[in-house]
Amino acid sequence: MLYIGVDLGTSAVKLLLMDENGKIQNIVSKEYLLYFPHPGWSQQDPQDWYAQTVEGIRELTADCDKSQVAGISFGGQMHGLVVLDENDDVIRPAILWNDGRTGKETDYLNNVIGKDKLSKYTANIAFAGFTAPKILWMKENEPDNFAKISKIMLPKDYLAYKLSGVFCTDYSDASGMLLMDVEHKCWSKEMMEICGVTEAQLPKLYESYDIVGSIKADLAEEFGFTGDVKVAAGAGDNAAAAVGTGTVGDGMCNISLGTSGTIFISSKSFGVDENNALHSFAHADGYYHLMGCMLSAASCNKWWMDEILKTKEYASEQEGIVKLGENQVFYLPYLMGERSPHNDPKARATFIGMTMDTTREDMTQAVLEGVAFGLRDSLEVARSLGIKIERTKICGGGAKSPLWKKIIANVMNLKVDVIESEEGPGYGGAILAAVGCGEYASVEEAAGKLVKVIETVEPDPELVAKYEERYQKFRKIYPTVKGLFQELAE
């Protein structure tokens, strides 16, 4: 049988066709626009996602035996606010995960409602990118639109709704809304009251691998599917990527170097760090995970290459970088503010340490190292909880760089396992569809059989020691300039 995985990203939707043995048959990518109507705002039109997904499914399955297509599922960008009216029309553009407009609402939730209460209600505190602050922003700034809301959903759930007609979400993605009681896997009555929404406006909750329905008959006919194509709930992109990299069960780790950067630690038991520096979310395997998320990761390198150096030759720009662990230039990777562990939407990217002999290579190296150091900040929080991590999987566009993988391994002092498929969220989505359709008994079983490690990047003790010294300097920079960021924002 064949399974479709849909990775609904920020710049494109990537669709993947996988057979029951995990072999990828085809991959299609469709781009759409990203809008920045004000500095720090980030929006998209959900109808663009759907149009490109439909076109992508057509192209993806054009040459396959369509009678073999059994299921579809998703990995989607998290936290986005999608609102529909009573006629199922989109009320306003979706406010995305990397949108920074909700500073006032985030402060209200954390400081007036209080972090202790939020953590008790949801296992998390408010971050500017989360969905609940966006709802409060809309209530305050667009009351007419707010009054029209009939359905509140996350980006990938809009696709599921349009394809199946089922108003649903999954526990992993819903964990990032600040509306769900993560420990007990239900909507939080207290948070609904705080945000002024009702349970009727929120989707029904499912496990990521649960079948929620089937592709609508008219769409199935349009696609040329002859069988009943099941729709599984899917997962937030990081949980889906973790499934796609085999980061399931207890004590496994995955680092994602995508537009954003994450360090994802799977666990069979629920847990929260005392400062809520890491997100405590449900996982797509039916259990839980801790996650540190930095808002700009591979996007830092993209910005540096495309906007500053004006080049697309990413690999050649890295060829001259040889003095690892000795760079005097540091880079704070906060182009869109920062989430984990600082929770500071006003933080900004910064270079420091340049001298007259600083080279182009030094600056490029500093960008790669800054992202690695930023991820290490979250790893240190996990280590403070007594979590022992010795190795990690890696995925995302940045993981294609051998140099960046080497830097990550030595900054983190972790063995970095490279897997056969780099298609984390899409591959995870296809695996969830296969589990939902009964191809495998569990997500763990499927990941164990399908995900293959093809290379391991080992840390070098000498380089680890050099990077330890660099990291201890890096971690002093943000606290030193934090106050200045606040002043610049004013």
- Along the 490 residues of the chain, how does pLDDT read in single tens digits? 999 999 999 999 999 999 999 999 999 999 999 999 998 899 999 999 999 999 999 999 999 999 999 999 999 999 999 999 999 999 999 999 989 899 999 999 999 999 999 999 999 999 989 999 999 999 999 999 999 999 999 999 999 999 999 999 999 999 999 999 999 999 999 999 999 999 999 999 999 999 999 999 999 999 999 889 999 999 999 999 999 999 998 889 999 998 899 999 999 989 888 888 899 999 999 999 999 999 999 999 999 999 999 999 999 999 999 999 999 999 999 998 998 899 898 999 999 999 999 999 999 999 999 999 999 999 999 998 888 899 999 988 899 999 999 999 999 999 999 998 878 899 999 999 999 999 999 999 999 999 999 999 999 999 999 999 999 999 999 999 999 999 998 8
Report the CATH number at residue 136.
3.30.420.40
Domain that holds residue 62: 2-238
**Number of domains forming the structure of the chain:** 1
Is position 78 annotated in a ligand binding site? yes
Q: Is 358 helix (H, G, I), strand (E, B) or coil?
A: coil
Short-list 270, 229, 163, CA closest to 433: 229
Q: What is the pTM of this model?
A: 0.90
Look at phi and psi of residue 117 and say left if phi exceeds 0, alpha if psi is from -120 to 50, else beta. alpha
Residue 41 lies inside a defined structural domain of this protein: yes
Residue 67 lies inside a defined structural domain of this protein: yes
Residue 478 lies inside a defined structural domain of this protein: no
Residue 384 lies inside a defined structural domain of this protein: no
Q: What is the rounded distance in angstroms from the CA atom of residue 379 to the CA atom of residue 254? A: 11
List b or e across 431-457, with b for residues whose CB sees 16 or more CB atoms inside 10 angstroms.
bbbbbbbebbeebbebbeebbeeeeeb
Residue 7 lies inside a defined structural domain of this protein: yes
Residue 390 lies inside a defined structural domain of this protein: no
Residue 173 lies inside a defined structural domain of this protein: yes
Does 341 sit behind a cis peptide bond, omega within 30 degrees of 0 on the bond before it? yes
Residue 261 lies inside a defined structural domain of this protein: no
Q: What sections of 168-283 are H helices per DSSP?
A: 171-174, 189-195, 217-223, 237-244
The catalytic site residues sit at: 237
Is position 79 annotated in a ligand binding site? yes
